[in-house]
Amino acid sequence: MNELQGKGIAPGIAVGRIFYYKKSGRQIRRTYREDSETEWKRFEEAREKAEMQLLALKEKAVKETGEEAAAIFEAHQMLLRDDELEAFIRDIIVTAKVSAEYAVFVAGEHFSEMLAGLEDAYLQARNADLQDVVWRLIRILNGVEDVQELTEPSIIVAEDLTPSETIQLEKSLILGFVTRQGSANSHTAILARQLSLPAVCGIETDPSWNGKPAVADGSSGRIFLDPDDALLERSREQQREEEAHRERLQRLKGRPAVTKDGRQIAVYANIGSVEEVRNARENDAEGIGLFRSEFLYLEGKDFPSEEKQYAVYKAVLQAMEDRLVVIRTLDLGADKQADYLDLGHEENPAMGYRAIRICLDRPEIFRTQLRAIYRASVYGRAAILFPMIISVEEVLQCRRHIAEVKAELKQEGIPYKDDVQIGVMIETPAAALISEMLAKEVDFFSIGTNDLAQYTLAIDRQNARMEAQTDMHHPAVQELIQRTIANGHKAGIRVEICGELAADTSFTKTFLDYGVDALSVSPPFVLSVKDAVLQAE
């Protein structure tokens, strides 16, 4: 048995034979071509063919792995039309009088060197995309296709794998990936995680391994060639446990989250964009418990218009088909900064001009968002959530803005729903301590444990140095959560928890004992939280 240590980039265990993926069509010679215009035309035709291939791959990826994987091929399409790359290729064809394939090859080497010299690991990883695009063009120009046939379930081993090579392999026959190149940021890693397959990189791979039995452990980053019987048995047992766990979670789809003694709660998803709704639905979220709308404000160069916001909220509401969608009004400031906001320097931005404080200070920004939400409200079951609340007065001001926005819409003859629920985030100790008063003014509470812990423990949530001391289970944080739920219920309103702690299944039972009504977590955690609720007594 031979053991090699690499880096685990997608968890899980693969047991099976190795399929060594060899790239073909990689020889390239410098060939003289007098007629540059004909060569340029050949390049343009090859590029069009490459675009068609990428379109087909994109559609395959959407069907098999989702939008995120498909975006990789969109990026490739853009690379194909990159001005700098195009100018470089044309220049070589015309001035050096070489074949189009050689010009593409030289351009690939040139830009690849540039990318490799960058410090940014993410941009370095994009080199793989460039190589993918370059070799696609060269293969087309050479008239060869290099998709190898996988005939039995195998661990794919390669020097490196490009996204299009990965996606073209028959998904049902891939057990895992082992490559020499790659990183946690690489697209192979992203695709592997989306396919729930293990992946290891940083291994000195060798073509002579083809057909050898092996075990790849995507968590520890180890691979074993010719594993002995004991290791095989252990690995299979681990696989069975992982599989049983996954299957069990899948079977929970469609089942309500009810404790053994019959108490039902809702398990919602947290999202930051319309694209994530699909993920929420696939993971069986009963609604969106937190739509962090500020990401809309962070992606552009200026405030998103009312129209743009309206389109996004409408799309989310329609996709959720009448399930609850809690839209949190913008929570900018602190760590969420955009140049155009021009918030100025603050010594302690987490305790400064942020979230609802900005909205109440700059009503034109706030009112634009409220108008967009109310206009979209007719397409589903929207609720509005205000972040960083510390006083009753703030809630009353928010309500006044809502009343005015509604009156405006009415006057303009624009339809909206009158019964949109209004809630506040309980994410400051102040809000938790006055939750009895706040509960009288709103329809629901949503407890933001990330900020609540930060402000209660006086530990900056961005400070990596303090990570070890950040005790999310601290009795002070728990006391505030418990008090908030009790006060909410006393006033007859529902209380949700939407911070990261909501996904901590070692705490689900405690939250249920406090009486929580809903937990809202990132889409991949919805089913495990539901599972924890079902196990609870």
Shortest separation between residue 424's beta carbon and ligand PEP, angstroms? 12
Determine if 354 is a binding residue for ligand PEP (CB under 6 A).
Answer: no
Angstrom distance (rounded) from CA 176 to CA 156: 6
Shortest separation between residue 289's beta carbon and ligand PEP, angstroms? 9
Which one of residues 176, 380, 448, 523 is an interface residue with Mg ion (CB under 5 A)? 448
Shortest separation between residue 461's beta carbon and Mg ion, angstroms? 9
Q: What are the C-alpha distances in Å from 508 to residues 158, 324, 367, 533? A: 42, 21, 37, 7
Stretch that binds ligand PEP, among 144-152, 300-308, 416-424, 443-451 (CB under 6 A): 443-451
187 is a catalytic site residue: yes
Shortest separation between residue 499's beta carbon and ligand PEP, angstroms? 3
Shortest separation between residue 327's beta carbon and Mg ion, angstroms? 15
What residues numbered 474-503 form the site for ligand PEP, per CB under 6 A? 498-499
Determine if 451 is a binding residue for ligand PEP (CB under 6 A).
Answer: yes
Determine if 504 is a binding residue for ligand PEP (CB under 6 A).
Answer: no
Which one of residues 68, 132, 286, 331 is an interface residue with ligand PEP (CB under 6 A)? 331
Shortest separation between residue 371's beta carbon and ligand PEP, angstroms? 23
498 is a catalytic site residue: yes
CB-facing half-sphere around the CA of 196: CA atoms within 13 A: 9
Q: What are the C-alpha distances in Å from 351 to residues 224, 346, 458, 477, 490? A: 51, 9, 11, 18, 30
**With contact defined as beta carbons under 8 Å apart, do 84 and 114 qualify?**
no
**With contact defined as beta carbons under 8 Å apart, do 345 and 336 qualify?**
no
Catalytic pick among 76, 110, 187, 245: 187
What residues numbered 270-309 form the site for ligand PEP, per CB under 6 A? 290, 292
Angstrom distance (rounded) from CA 212 to CA 210: 6
E strands, 151-235, are 154-158, 174-179, 199-201, 213-217, 222-225
Which one of residues 217, 427, 496, 517 is an interface residue with ligand PEP (CB under 6 A)? 427
Tokens of residue 64, six digits: 């098999």
Binding residues with ligand PEP: total (CB under 6 A): 10
* Burial class (CB within 10 angstroms; exposed 0-12, middle 13-18, buried 19+) of 238: middle
Please count the other Cβ atoms lying within 10 Å of the Cβ belonging to residue 30.
12
In degrees, rounded to 5, the angle at the alpha carbon of residue 313 between the alpha carbons of residues 308 and 316 is 130
Stretch that binds Mg ion, among 27-35, 190-198, 445-453, 503-511 (CB under 5 A): 445-453
Which one of residues 450, 470, 510, 528 is an interface residue with ligand PEP (CB under 6 A)? 450
Q: Number of H helices and number of E strands within the chain? A: 21, 17
Stretch that binds ligand PEP, among 75-83, 93-101, 310-318, 447-455 (CB under 6 A): 447-455
Sign of CA dihedral 50, 54, 60, 64: positive
- 449 touches, from ligand PEP, Mg ion, none (C-beta below 5 to 8 Å by class): ligand PEP
Residues 6+ apart with CB under 8 A from 292: 270, 271, 272, 328, 331
Q: Residues in the site for ligand PEP, rule: CB under 6 A?
A: 290, 292, 331, 427, 448-451, 498-499
Q: Residues in the site for Mg ion, rule: CB under 5 A?
A: 427, 448, 451
